[in-house]
Structure 1
Amino acid sequence: MKSYLNFKREITELQYFHISTIYAFDETENLLHFWRRHRLKFDEETSLNHIVSQPTNFGTKKSRKIKRRKNLNEIIFVRLISALEVFLVDLVRDAFLETKEPFKKQDLMFQLSQAEILSIKSTANFFNKVINKECRKLSSSGFSEIIKYYKKHFYIEMGSFSPGRSKMEEYHERRHLLVHRLGRTDSQYRKKYNTNKLSISISDEYLNECIDDLSSFCNMVHNQMKYQLKNEFTVKSQKTKSTDRTLTLNVEFENDMNGMSYFQPDYEFWSQDEFSVFSDILDSRTAIDANTIEFIISGSFAQIRSYTRIINRSQKKEKFVVKIIQEKNKSQEKQFASRILDDEILSEIEKKLPEQPWITGIHKIIARELEVSNKLVSTGIQQLIAKGVFKQQINGILVIDEEE
């Protein structure tokens, strides 16, 4: 998902920044020591055509060297935790794009005046208001509240993911002390973590461990979210949707502008006396080539009949061509549903898994035995780990939670 790709990119950039800045510190310090040791003059060209400017506020004493690296590590650490929180909120946005099922709350009232309702130009505009309100509230919550949110809405137990809830909370509390108290500890922190230190710092070892922990944690959250959206919510939404007819359409456009309005999610039309939007009947959209897009639509007979009549009448005028490739029947839908990871397949995967640690590629061996895809088994293993049936392992090595 986009949120996870952005998080990985941010982590990589921070690592590059840390390495390159340490390199710049080392090179500058070594150069200044060399210049002073050989009593060379600043701002004058040497025999090697090299000029070094008089340093300003760049002390070469050991205390200044330690202070520079301390500040650098603290800055990067604060941004790391911020990147984690941005990922957890943006992942909710990505989930909202996939399905609206987790956000359908009977106990939550979304109040709008009649003027506001009639001012909304499309369903996309209204959905934007809903998800922005949801994410704004989540952004102002602490890590513990985010854990509760994921458990309540997506059935994801983030607290059980490596490196464990207590360590993840300590990362957040340490960030809080750095941002709001310049690293000075309070009595609550000292009591909770059994320490007498009046201030905290971020060593290179601690920073690298944090990067590894956050990378592993976010990977687990991302994989679990994909699993939940595919198995817990997508199937449910398919069951509740009234589908009398399903069509696959190939639409060839003369250019990007002609006729595209009919295929936008917020395109509005009437089916008999009911108001409908294209997003209500759109199941998927796939680009075939530069000028051709495949749309799979489904809905009631009235919706599909009304919509196909509109585009058939409009295609000549708007210069696009619509071809109905096929109509799916119920046997095809059942065949598709059988490929979804369900409790039965999950149970079979659990029985096939030997004692840990597993060898690399164990999911491929089990996939061959069960005659299913490697991805299906890999997703199943991640789900079993998330449920606590098995331990998390990396490169054949078990990851032990400190709380145990």
Structure 2
Amino acid sequence: MKAYIQFTHEINRLLAFYKATIYAYEQTDELLWKWRKNKSEFIELGLNVKQPTFYKHKKRAKIENRKNLSETVYVRIVSALEVFLVDLIRDIFIDTKEPFKKQDIMIQFTQAELLSIHSPADIFNKIINKECRKLTSGGFNDIIKYYKKHFDIDLSSFAPGKSKMEEYHERRHILVHRLGRTDQQYRVKYKTKSQTISIDETYLIDCVKDFKDFSELVFTQVKYKLKNGLKSDKIKEKIVEAKNKITIEILKDEIKYFEPNFEFWGGDEFSMFSNILDTKRQIETNKFEIQISGTERQINAFIRIIKKGVIHKQIKAEFHKYRVPKPETISEPRFLDEKIILTIKEKLPPQPWETGVHKKVASELGISNKLVSIAIQQLIGKGVFKNQIDGIIIDEPQSDEENKTKETDS
């Protein structure tokens, strides 16, 4: 994922910058020391070394420079981690929209904004930017809560642990907003009497190692969740009432019918070409074949548009209509007989069933949900299927003989 690669590169660049700067200080100190000790040697070589007034070579100045360098790099590293965690959410959004489908959040668009939208990407962009903006201003603890709530990933359980990760972020906050001067809350929480805090090299290197390990754990967990948990199996199925294969030859430029965002009306139904396009195969430079499917209104409306293009000699078109089989249905009965129960049994998939399977079967057969639900209960009672609750099988099926024995005992 892009966020993880960028974070890894940023950490490595900051560490390289820190080491290079320390090396430059040490080399400069050594050069100036040798100059002061033997200026004639440098003059003979044609080197005129002059120490600038802003460069201090005393021990106290060296310590102060290292401290400032460490603090600057540290602040950048902690910020890079927060950027990584927020950008990783953007990567998840690209892969799947499921965790972001919230009924309790309203996104407001003005009419002008809606009519200016060129593609769904404009809407998606507004949604994800709003999600991430809250986290950017909220801080690390808000990010922890977000990952737990929306992705079921508990960042606080990852090494080096919540307490240490919070201290890293609070230390960054104090360095940025209080110039390293601790407040009472920090001193009580972390059991220290120190009035100031800073960053030494050991602390900085430990932080880099912890952040690398932490980011790898987060990245690995997100990949696992995307593969096994975050993506929903429930995909909204396209209604297919009509299909058509059309061979198109473009005769004039600037034909927009076949662009994904081309808009048209199918009766009172607003559609885009991308809604009905199944496949597109290029044959020659200006010749291609498309397969489209959708409601009868959508397909008929789009074919009328193409035929107008043919009349105006903008395109040539050959149509190959497909017959779409109608779904198997049975007339709505007043009561369940063995034939209907057997038909419902054949339509049911292997267990465990997903929630609402009776509605799917009812829709396929054209009968009521209640009738299918009753039939399923009868099949479970006969031992044909196992009993289940919320998609989990809770007991073994019972044979007809076992049921008869129970009835005799009672």
Alignment of 1:68 with 2:89, yes or no, is: no
The answer to whether structure 1 residue 113 and structure 2 residue 117 are counterparts is no
| Counterpart Cα distance in 1 of 2:114 and 2:231 | 28
- Which residue of structure 2 aligns with residue 276 of structure 1? 271
Contact 2:263/2:272 (<8 A) preserved? yes
1:231 aligns with 2:228: yes
2:131 corresponds to: 134
**Does residue 166 of the first structure (1) align with residue 163 of the second (2)?**
yes
CA distance in 1, matches of 2:101, 2:315: 37
The correspondence of residues 146-295 of structure 1 with structure 2, limited to 5 A, is 146-238=143-235, 240-242=236-238, 262=258, 264=260, 266-270=261-265, 273-277=268-272
Change (3 A) 1:308 1:219: farther
SS at match of 1:233: coil
Aligned-partner SS, 2:270 = strand
Aligned length: 312
Q: Could you tell me which residue of structure 1 aligns to residue 22 of structure 2?
A: 22
Determine the C-alpha separation between the residues in 1 that align with 2:82 and 2:20: 25
Amino acid at match of 1:27: Q
- Residues of 2 paired with 1:228 and 1:97: CA distance? 14
Deviation at 1:118, TM superposition (A): 2.3
Shift of the 209–109 alpha-carbon distance from structure 1 to 2, 3 Å rule, reads: same
Q: Could you tell me how far 1:4 is from its partner in structure 2?
A: 1.2
Aligned to 2:395: none
Contact 1:162 1:216 in 2 (8 A): yes
Structure 2 residue 91 is the aligned partner of structure 1 residue 78: no
Name the amino acid aligned to 1:172.
H
- For 1:36, the aligned partner's letter is R
Over 3 Å counting, the alpha-carbon distance change for 1:80 and 1:28 in structure 2 is: same
More displaced stretch, 104-113 vs 11-20? 104-113
Q: What SS does the corresponding residue of 1:236 show, helix, strand or coil?
A: coil
TM-score if structure 1 supplies the norm length? 0.64
Measure the CA separation in 2 of the matches of 1:281 and 1:152: 35
2: distance between equivalents of 1:142 and 1:284? 45
Q: How does 1:245-394 map to 2 (within 5 A)?
A: 262=258, 264=260, 266-270=261-265, 273-277=268-272, 300=294
Deviation of 1:71 (Å): 0.5
SS state of the match for residue 234, structure 1?
coil
CA distance in 1, matches of 2:202, 2:120: 49
Q: What is the rounded CA distance, in whole Å, between the counterparts of 1:174 and 1:28 in structure 2?
A: 31
Q: CA deviation at 1:169?
A: 0.5
Once the two structures are TM-superposed, the CA of residue 298 in structure 1 deviates from its matched residue by 9.9
**Equivalent residue, structure 1, for 2:387:** none
Q: Computing the radius of gyration over CA atoms, which structure comes out larger, 1 or 2?
A: 2
**2:148–2:155 CA contact under 8 A, matched in 1:** yes
Distance 1:166 1:103 in 2: 29
Q: What's the offset of the Cα at 1:297?
A: 10
Paired residues of 1:3 and 1:90 also in contact (CA < 8 A): yes
Q: Is the 8 Å Cα contact of residues 156 and 224 (structure 1) preserved in structure 2?
A: yes
CA RMSD of aligned residues (A): 4.4
SS for the counterpart of 2:181 is: coil
Tell me the secondary structure at the aligned position of residue 275 of structure 1. Answer: strand
1:46 aligns with 2:68: no
Higher RCO (Cα < 8 Å, 6 or more apart): 1
User: Which 5+ residue runs of structure 2 have no aligned equivalent?
Assistant: 317-410
Q: Counterpart amino acid of 1:275?
A: F
1:262–1:311 contact (8 Å) kept in structure 2: no
| Change in CA separation of 1:278 and 1:19 when aligned onto 2, cut-off 3 Å | farther
Aligned to 1:33: 33
Q: Which amino acid aligns with 1:78?
A: V
Q: CA deviation at 1:129?
A: 1.4
Q: Which amino acid aligns with 1:176?
A: H
